[in-house]
Amino acid sequence: MTARIWSLEESLEIPLPPHAVYAALADIRRMKEWSPEVIWVWPRGERFVGVNRKACWIWFATCRIVIADPGREFAFDNTTFGLPVARWGYRLTPTERGTQVTEYWIDRRRHGWRRRAAEMLGLVFTGTPAARRAVHNRAGMRETLRRLSAACRTAPCTTQGGRGPTR
């Protein structure tokens, strides 16, 4: 049996400047265009609710934007029923040909009864045991980055910057 993976990173270079990629990422309503799990996003300022789907499982995640550094990094914490689940984020690094986008995931289900409760809810809602979530997320992150790249290549990314939509 392999050890549990608590964090992941996947990267892809996109031939656009960091501010353009950031503008797309900061508009969290667009996450459903890229993520293979997200099917709907309801933004409310620096908080939002995402509805996700995997096969026959459908669940929601309550999120709060925790890093909004235009052109550099965008990240949000995901909770369920007030229990910490994960941090998802994107670091943007300028390259000669555009931007290296690094998507990262950090499992925040770490200690005591809150960990066990969040893991049980995760299994019930997503059908994926906590110990296998990293493997599933890696595939999803690769797909998300490919879709983000394709969307940024075919349609101009907005240049709004900021913390994403407010209403």
Length of the chain: 167
The predicted pLDDT at position 83 comes to 87
The predicted pLDDT at position 158 comes to 52
C-alpha torsion angle, residues 65, 136, 36, 51 (rounded to 10): -50
Would you give the end-to-end CA distance of the chain in angstroms? 46
The predicted pLDDT at position 2 comes to 63
Positions in the chain short of pLDDT 50: 159-167
The predicted pLDDT at position 91 comes to 98
The predicted pLDDT at position 164 comes to 44
The predicted pLDDT at position 33 comes to 94
The predicted pLDDT at position 114 comes to 72
The predicted pLDDT at position 140 comes to 94
DSSP state of 37: S
The predicted pLDDT at position 117 comes to 74
Q: Retrieve residue 39's tokens.
A: 């099917």
Q: What is the pTM of this model?
A: 0.85
Alpha helices in 9-129 (DSSP H): 18-26, 31-34, 112-126
pLDDT tens readout for residues 62-84: 999 999 999 999 999 999 888 88
